[in-house]
Structure 1
């Protein structure tokens, strides 16, 4: 009887910890779909341009700013490690919203007076 009670308490503990540890996120690209667990999130500070390679990453963070472009939008995403611009066709993300974005790493070279002022960004898939 004691063994059964112990297993019941252990199961209850695991359920409570599991529910408490799962944070609901809105997955970019899927409207009204919540995800509780996403693997392979890349910290923004680790995203580097890799020449001639098509690297796809997932980033998680909050929308800080948005800029309208022709038939697209750019969103500035911030996690605790840095910020990155994401170019997408979506127009429904709000400032302050937590998102997960899947995109290809891109680099735009901007040479000015012999100095490279280019920027890494993501193009959403």
Structure 2
């Protein structure tokens, strides 16, 4: 397991059990571009070679040695994005393009895995 995966697991563990806030994106305040995928449509079994774009507001951020991990909400759901960008602030809207990954986290016979995006 590489350091980036380990860091992502730690981040997910820290915030995964917390009640996540829903940002002010309800009621269609955020419109999707033609090539943007709604987060609710991203599945763990999705082709890991496919590139997708997501658009939403940054809700959380965690610094890494090279870049950051952002939690992004598009009013249909949230996803963690591993990015080399380091200037985004909580509350800002952003578009990320990258590959979907899934990290399995089995605990006591239950699956608590997390889908995330690695920005290209």
Counterpart pick for 2:54 among 33, 56, 59 = 59
In structure 2, C-alpha distance between the alignment counterparts of 1:86 and 1:53, rounded to whole Å? 15
Q: CA deviation at 1:122?
A: 0.2
Which structure: larger Rg? 1
Matched length: 89
Counterpart pick for 2:89 among 88, 94, 97 = 94
Q: CA deviation at 1:80?
A: 1.2
Unaligned 5+ segments in structure 2 are: 1-31
Q: Identify, as 1 or 2, the structure richer in helix.
A: 1
In structure 2, C-alpha distance between the alignment counterparts of 1:52 and 1:40, rounded to whole Å? 17
TM-score normalized by the length of structure 2 = 0.68
Greater than 3 Å deviation, 4+ residue runs: none
In structure 2, C-alpha distance between the alignment counterparts of 1:53 and 1:110, rounded to whole Å? 18
2:44 equivalent to 1:49:
yes
Aligned residue number for residue 81 of structure 1: 76
Q: CA deviation at 1:72?
A: 2.8
TM-score normalized by the length of structure 1 = 0.66
